[in-house]
Structure 1
Amino acid sequence: MALTPAEVVEQHSELSVAQLAEKAKCSEAEVVELLPQEWACWLPTEQLQWLMYDLPSWGPMTTIIQVAGSVFEIKDNFPSGKPGHGYYNLMDKQSHLHGHLKLDNIASVALISKPLRGTESYCFQFFDDNGSTIFKVYLGRDRKRVLLPQQVERFELLKQNMALTELENQQ
């Protein structure tokens, strides 16, 4: 008998969101919906532009783009940019990451802080309207692979603010 997506998430929580989605035969966004509240929350879509402006101030992080089974990692500060011609144009000469984000195609952003293969992990995960991941931005680590504490603090504060906002909206 096949497991439901909720059972897959519960029984295999050590897996990545992508692995859970594959195993549960659902979208990655659906997996995030099933994660415990302490592991994931959603950024209101109206705050997407703010996040794009804020991420460059966080310091070095790892941006991950997965395409057709390949995984590309860029370890650098998330670049600053500005809107133009229907895109958010990444144009920071100090960063190795350049390109053009179609913000209209980003339907949701999750803040995920769940263990990954036994290691503490924090990321912003950007989804399209089908629940597929467009890209992820993981918090940075030092040379000993320890998460940067100032980034973890900012991330947790942002998650707390999202939880408070959601609570206020329910009342």
Structure 2
Amino acid sequence: MTETASSEAPVRPTLRDRLANNADGILEQIAREYGVSTFEAVEALPASHRVIVSGSEFERILSALTSWGSIVFIVHTQDIVLECEGPIPPGTFARGYFNLHGDSPIGGHIKAENCKSIAFVMRPFMGRESRSIQFFNGTGEAIFKIFVRRDAQRELIGEQVALFDTLKASFTG
């Protein structure tokens, strides 16, 4: 008798199971591997790793962020991961945009009405704890992300973690 190798490929875990077993990794890459939007990947995270609120909270959240000091602002597309560090300046609505102007390298004009969901994400990233607020459009892709900064030892800055947790808790009761 001869043994034949199994022609069956190993069964890939569901996205939810994959993230429950290991929530680390680049969410955009994980989403592509599973053929879903980045927002759907965030939704698949265990509940302990994310709180999702309506995009209608855009102005409230951005206004709160103006008191956090320097943060990491990220725009992640298929072609670039652009990171900018600085404070979130105050913003105002005009001409269909939420306009950020102030003494910061972070500035510009955001089509806030396109923000459909906002996720507070607490999960490991590259083996380290991370906290971010991610703003999603109607197609489920991130418009931009705000990350809590790290100190010289690559640990999250405690003051910002407390601000993040307080803001998140204001949406969860």
Residue of structure 2 equivalent to 1:89: 99
Which residue of the other structure, out of 37, 40, 46, is the alignment partner of 1:27?
37
Q: TM-score, normalised by structure 1?
A: 0.87
Counterpart mapping for 1:93-132 below 5 A: 94-132=103-141
Report the residue type matching 1:76 in the other structure.
G
**Of 2, 8, 11, the match for 2:18:** 8
Name the CA shift for 1:10/1:38 in 2 (closer, same or farther; >3 Å): closer
Report the counterpart of residue 134 of structure 1 in structure 2.
143
Residue 41 of structure 1 aligns to a residue whose secondary structure is: strand
Amino acid at match of 1:110: A
| Post-superposition CA distance 1:41-77 (Å, at most 9, x none) | 0123332111121211111110011233211100111
Residue 100 of structure 1, CA deviation: 0.2
Matched residue type, 1:156: D
Question: Which structure would you say has the larger Rg?
Answer: 2
Higher helix share: 1
Q: Match of 2:121, as an amino acid?
A: I
Which residue type is aligned with residue 150 of structure 1? E
Distance 1:53 1:160 in 2: 16
CA separation of 1:108 and 1:52: change in aligned 2, threshold 3 A: same
Structure 1 unpaired stretches of 5+: 165-171
What is the distance in 2 between the residues matched to 1:116 and 1:5?
17
Aligned match of 1:17: 27
Do the aligned residues in 1 keep the contact of 2:20 with 2:46 (CA within 8 Å)?
no
Cα deviation 1:18-38 (Å, max 9, x = unaligned): 222122221111111111222
Distance (Å, rounded) in 2 between the aligned partners of 1:143 and 1:5? 34
RMSD of Structure 2 on Structure 1 (CA): 1.6
Q: Which amino acid aligns with 2:101?
A: M
How much identity, in percent, do the aligned residues show?
30
Measure, in 1, the Cα distance between the counterparts of 2:53 and 2:167: 9
Match of 2:155 among 146, 153, 158: 146
Q: Which runs of 5+ in 2 are unaligned?
A: 1-10
Moved over 4 A (4+): none
Amino acid at match of 1:96: P
Q: TM-score, normalization: structure 2?
A: 0.87
